[in-house]
């Protein structure tokens, strides 16, 4: 037994497969590294980290945060398949304008990278019964493309056609395609908006052949009580005993996009999603491995190990020569100067938890140089942070933020003298109202610094708000911050 939202965290654009008794689900990671996260489950309800398919996507200036960035870009909407003993992942990156193909015989790797000629937005891979491979992809017009045997590009003289057109609309047309062959028929799932207003819905179109007409309609139109935040885009999957489920995601405000699990049945060879057209809050499924203990998708960390826990991801490509880990400390040194928080290298991030969570960190700023800042942030386009600033006259504890309309450097909201080089910091994120509050610890307990900051899900970043640990040099490179234990926990009701 479990509950929706499924992961309670930002795992959008999901695609799933089952291999034997094990379910795997891939999700978009965009500009975070390592990327291409794959989760594992034995009941479709509880999930744990399985692997990432790459440490670095492309070593470009944008992905290194050198003069530009890859926010809102990077790895988008992958398709995950298993065929004759090999796992396949295909996706595009909007900044590099490439279509990537990763292959592995073991889900945990190693993964081999290659490229497919062309650019295939929101693609889905299908291996037909004769082993021929096809992609569906596109926006509004959904294209079907036959690949060559090497999966390096289109097959010469192969099938290539438009199989669906959502028509003119002021809102979103078909995209987020998923293609399956079930019982001899071909099923195309795609998202789009309702024509009368912005509300994401899921449609399914079916055909007896890849050359034939795809016909169908809306199979899920439910916002689960979040006004017009429709649940859509994702995949379908069967269980070993023959039952079916769908996992689609929902925009849940500043925390990000969260997958939802729903039962699926069949009527007249068409899928029926949910219960009476609605997505249930409580969900159940039989486990294939009773007694399995899942590792959580979020965690506190004492930084005792010399490798990072799988809950962490770097914001863009890190420079690990500037990072030292282990012995209860995370030490980050700066290698460049920037006045812009979102251009800071080596920011370590963790997803946040719906409906609310807090993160606490101990910071030693004795290695900061004048003009340096270090602390704990809520990372998104409209970011905010609390931390230590080293100035010519000593340390200050400060809160900076970027609100809608502010420039990229943001604004200092409050700054207080601080007599020590170390401090304990806390951020409380309440996603019931999309507010984050920052605190610092004194002998009297936690003290709030500044006003609550309103968090957003802005398309400039296209990811949910995350905790971020950072050190920023604004005058000269070489300063460092040392972080002690990070403590994360759900907010109490």
Give domain limits for the chain. Answer: 2-283, 312-490
Task: Please give the pLDDT value at position 213.
Answer: 97
Sign of the torsion angle spanned by Cα atoms 310, 311, 317, 321: negative
| pLDDT for residue 169 | 85
CA atoms of 462 and 454, how far apart (whole Å): 17
pLDDT score recorded for residue 492:
83
pLDDT at residue 281, as a whole number: 95
CATH dotted code for 312-490: 2.60.120.200
Sign of the dihedral defined by the CA atoms of residues 433, 252, 27, 154, in that order? negative
Q: Return the HEC string of the chain.
A: CEECCCCCCCCCCCEEEEECCEEEEECCCECEECEEEEEEECCCCCCEEEEEEECCCCCCCCCCCCCCCCCCCCEEEEEEEEECCEEEEEEEECCCCEEEEEEECCCCCCCEEEEECCCCCCCEEEECCCCCEEEEECCCEEEEEEECCCCCCECCCCCEEEEEECCCCCCCCCEEEEEEEECCEEEEEEEEECCCCCCEEEEEEEECCCCCCCEEEEEECCCCCCCCCCCEEEEEEECCCCCEEEEEEEECHHHCEEEEEEEEEEECCEEEECECCECCCEECCCCCCCCCCCCCCCCCECCCCCCCCCCEEEECCCCHHHEEEECCEEEEECCCCCCCHHHCCCCEEEECCCCEEEEEEEEECCCCCCCEEEEEEEECCCCEEEEEEEECCEEEEEEEECCCCCCCCCEEEEEEEECCCEEEEEEEEECCCCEEEEEEEECCEEEECCCCEECCCCCCCCCCCEEEEEEEECCCCCCEEEEEEEEEEECCC
The pTM for the full model equals 0.96
Fold entry, domain 2-283: Tachylectin-2; Chain A (2.115.10)
* pLDDT recorded at residue 1: 79
Rounded CA-CA distance 468/341 in Å is 11
Q: Give residue-wise pLDDT tens across range 198-229.
A: 999 999 999 999 999 999 999 999 999 999 99
In this prediction, the residues of the chain whose per-residue pLDDT falls under 50 are none
Amino acid 47: pLDDT? 98
pLDDT value of position 319: 98
Per-residue pLDDT tens digits for 416-475: 999 999 999 999 999 999 999 999 999 999 999 999 999 999 999 999 999 999 999 999
């Amino acid at each position: 037994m479990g509950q929706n939202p499924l992961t309670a965290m930002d795992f959008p654009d999901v695609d799933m497969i089952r291999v034997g008794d094990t379910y795997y689900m891939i999700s978009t990671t965009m500009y975070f590294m390592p990327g291409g996260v794959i989760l594992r489950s034995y009941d479709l309800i509880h999930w744990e980290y399985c692997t990432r398919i790459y440490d670095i996507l492309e070593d470009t200036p944008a992905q290194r945060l050198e003069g530009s960035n890859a926010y809102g870009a990077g790895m988008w909407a992958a398709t995950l398949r298993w065929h004759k003993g090999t796992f396949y992942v295909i996706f595009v990156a909007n900044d590099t304008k490439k279509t990537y193909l990763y292959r592995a015989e073991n889900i945990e790797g190693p993964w081999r990278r290659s490229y497919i000629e062309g650019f295939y937005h929101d693609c889905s891979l299908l291996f037909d019964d004769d082993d021929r491979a096809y992609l569906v992809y596109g926006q509004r017009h959904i294209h079907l493309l036959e690949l060559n045997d090497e999966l390096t590009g289109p097959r010469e003289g192969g099938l290539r056609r438009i199989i669906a057109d959502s028509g003119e609309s002021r809102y979103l047309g078909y995209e987020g395609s998923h293609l399956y062959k079930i019982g001899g028929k071909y099923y195309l799932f795609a998202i789009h908006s309702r024509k009368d207003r912005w509300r994401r819905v899921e449609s399914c179109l079916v055909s007896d052949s890849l050359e034939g007409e795809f016909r169908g309609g809306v199979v899920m139109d439910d916002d689960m009580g979040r006004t017009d935040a429709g649940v859509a885009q994702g995949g379908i999957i069967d269980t070993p005993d023959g039952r079916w489920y769908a996992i689609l995601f929902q925009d849940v405000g500043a925390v990000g996009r969260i997958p939802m699990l729903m039962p699926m049945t069949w009527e007249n060879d068409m899928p029926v999603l949910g219960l009476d057209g609605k997505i249930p809050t409580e969900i159940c499924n039989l486990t294939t491995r009773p007694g399995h203990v899942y590792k959580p998708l979020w965690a506190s960390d004492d930084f005792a190990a010399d490798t990072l826990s799988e809950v962490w991801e770097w914001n863009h490509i890190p420079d690990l020569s500037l990072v030292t880990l282990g012995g209860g400390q995370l030490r980050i040194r700066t290698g460049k100067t920037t006045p812009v928080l979102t251009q800071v290298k080596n920011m370590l991030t963790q997803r946040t938890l719906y409906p609310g969570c807090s993160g606490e960190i101990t910071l030693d700023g004795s290695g900061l140089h004048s003009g340096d800042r270090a602390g704990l942030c809520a990372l998104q386009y409209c970011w905010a942070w609390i931390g230590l600033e080293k100035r010519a006259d000593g340390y200050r504890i400060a809160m900076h933020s970027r609100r809608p309309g502010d420039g990229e450097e943001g604004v200092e909201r409050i700054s207080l003298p601080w007599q020590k080089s170390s401090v304990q910091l806390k951020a409380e994120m309440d996603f019931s109202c999309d507010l984050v509050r920052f605190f610092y610890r004194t002998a009297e307990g936690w003290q709030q610094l500044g006003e609550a900051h309103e968090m957003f899900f802005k398309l400039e970043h296209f990811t949910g708000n995350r905790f971020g640990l950072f050190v920023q040099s604004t005058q000269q490179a070489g300063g460092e911050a040392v972080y002690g234990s990070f403590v994360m926990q759900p907010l109490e009701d």
